[in-house]
Structure 1
């Protein structure tokens, strides 16, 4: 979404989560570098320890480049899906600073904005679908400082839903599908069609990476997932007037390993459910892989 610097071939995707840092680079004919490490307490706000942890994880991959792409996530990152009159993307971008105030609950003065036309073809209501993303300027700058301290060059910031669609493009194919990304403290419901992002919704609950002795409360949280998925699809349909008919569900993130979750979601949603393993990697690498593929797939 947000270009930061000059791009070269071979990018490292960095996914900084609440519990873990995951990094992936893809070079040549599918040669993959990857590593995962523990994230220090305090997350991105703990720049000194996070930079040291990030540098160590990158070193473990054996990757020799410096240029990286990361993803911003969390409650401070605002993603909106707009219905606008048909117009070229350059006109959408030109009007963005003036239109964004209508759709964001805060002023745009200290925000970094970007947008993308998701579908240039007008829908049933003769409108085009546009994604608007906004992140506090200080948060964006903190990613830049973090990468500098780790000896890396940040060339772009992206959003998690876009990275997931990119990573699972081969798996979803031309289908309409749902991607459920289950992190340690939050999750994402992503609707994709033909590898293209249609809609996403962030849920403020996840699957903790470190489990206490009694884990029943954690699965109780996951019991709400089917309803959250249905709400997301219903909202998308009501906003766009488009029919929604996903053919399957892909699970990504560390929470995809949750025992019994596949069968539970299959029963509740009446859809095939599988763990997404793009490039043969584990589901926890989906976001970082999608970021690494940003250069080749846009």
Structure 2
């Protein structure tokens, strides 16, 4: 019997929600809604001024007519630790229950202040016996609770909290990418998530504290103009294009900040390749609002020496007439995280 799940992504500048139906065929997007968030209401992936976020969520549910209020929430910033971990094999419920004892001496925070999960990726036979390899996910409780509390205050019911990086991978593994080694790069306003998947399985997740808004802010500061004006100029000059003398200062700022971001992305891809000989990323797929900066994809392709393209999220899913995806026109890849969050349960 078909079920519907709503994935909710509370980003820096917008909240976005997708209602997904999973039946016998391809998943179907039934409804979509987004709402702008007040400046500063969400910082580094955490709700810091809940009133504006709560109002935005209530507005989304009122206008989109979602069929229920149960949601899967995303989390992902530099306060969420994701690292490779080998553990003695045991049934997953027991393994997850044992995590506090297994990792208490390796976390940068007290284990009682952390929420822990484990994502298995493979098994092998070690000298000590059967071993599970996977990714440990550790988030401080207050990092998660701020977003959960905002959702609850808006009358929503969070069913579970999922890592944005896992959602990003899930949303793009319905097509041929599931057979390849792929670097998924989601460039948001303040945060960039990088996930390397090997035949559909996440093998590395890294969060960078930089996004498209940092470029805009740098232009605004250099030219002493408003953020709104700086955003327009950033889009006008792009990355690596020749500009007139009147835009030269802005272009230099955009190029400088973008170069730092691209180098961090490239270094992450190189790091993965060096730790996985013979299994380097074959292609880079971009998502997120920041990925639409003109010239960014070409710049990253040159730096990484890989093919770089924007995600096609509509391979393997259908879209109902009730979805109303008009707000996504031209920025369709911003659907990736909320879509993947809904797939956490619907799949």
2:134 is matched with: 130
What are the residue-to-residue correspondences of 1:68-87 with 2, within 5 Å?
A: 68-85=71-88
Distance 2:58 2:132 in 1: 42
Distance 1:80 1:61 in 2: 37
State the 1:153 CA deviation. 0.9
What are the residue-to-residue correspondences of 1:226-237 with 2, within 5 Å?
A: 226-237=262-273
Q: Deviations over 1:73-130 (max 9, x none)?
A: 223222222234555534532431112223311111222211121223469xx96422
Whether 1:141 and 2:176 are equivalent positions in the alignment is no
Distance 1:117 1:216 in 2: 44
* Residue in structure 1 matching 2:20, options 26, 42, 53: 26
State the 1:136 CA deviation. 2.2
SS of equivalent to 2:174: helix
* Residue in structure 2 matching 1:259, options 262, 273, 294: 294
1:4 is matched with: none
Distance 1:256 1:19 in 2: 15
CA contact (8 A) 1:233 1:244 kept: no
What are the residue-to-residue correspondences of 1:134-213 with 2, within 5 Å?
A: 134-171=138-175, 172-208=177-213, 212=230, 213=233
So what's the TM-score if we normalise by structure 2?
Answer: 0.75
1:38 is matched with: 36
Equivalenced residues, count? 287
Q: Which runs of 4+ in 1 moved over 6 A?
A: none
SS of equivalent to 2:108: coil
Against the structure 1 CA distance between its residues 274 and 58, is the aligned structure 2 distance closer, same or farther, given a 3 Å change threshold?
farther
Distance 2:91 2:270 in 1: 28
Distance 1:103 1:277 in 2: 38
CA contact (8 A) 1:23 1:58 kept: no
State the 1:71 CA deviation. 0.7
The CA RMSD over aligned residues, in Å, is 2.5
Q: Relative to total residues, which structure has the larger helix share, 1 or 2?
A: 2
Structure 1 stretches lacking a partner, 5+ long: 1-7
